[in-house]
Amino acid sequence: MASRTARLAALAATLPLLWHGAPAQAAPETNLSASAATCYGGAVRSYFQAGGWGGDAGPYKASARCKDVNVKNSSAFGTEACVVFIDKTNSCNYLTYLPAKSDWITVATNVRDGANFKVRFTNLRYEYEPLVAYHAY
């Protein structure tokens, strides 16, 4: 009999929660900055003495460190970048504009680990300053 009374008391305590909803809970905390730091921590630098028309940086091999190919333009001028998957083609996927002194910008998404690629830069006009970029993949 005592267990039946305990069950009824527990049910009576639970009913208001069901009526009004369960208490709010915080969403699980994800550490996005740590995953970004891991991805960008392996970044490599490309340098072209004079920006000119641009150029190709690489070849690189995609890793499990990042699921995307990210590029950061450290130059004093804007440029466009694309990824060329060299085992499949010599053509760009699509051009992504990178403003001068940009932050990290994704130029290819969901890249398969182990895929060989290069990053092709195309400048909008001839530049006399160096083209400096960083790649995280």
Listed by start position, the domains of the chain span 42-136
Q: List pLDDT tens digits, range 32-65.
A: 444 555 789 889 999 988 878 889 999 999 999 9
Residue 50: what pLDDT? 80
Per CATH, which fold does 42-136 belong to? Jelly Rolls (2.60.120)
Integer-rounded Cα Rg, in Å, for the chain is 26
Give the separation between CA 5 and CA 11, rounded to whole angstroms. Answer: 10
Classify residue 7 by burial, with Cβ atoms within 10 Å: 0-12, 13-18, 19+.
exposed
Residue 3: what pLDDT? 56
Nearest of 110, 133, 137, 109 to residue 120 by alpha carbon: 133
Q: Which residues of the chain have pLDDT under 70?
A: 1-37
Residue 7: what pLDDT? 54
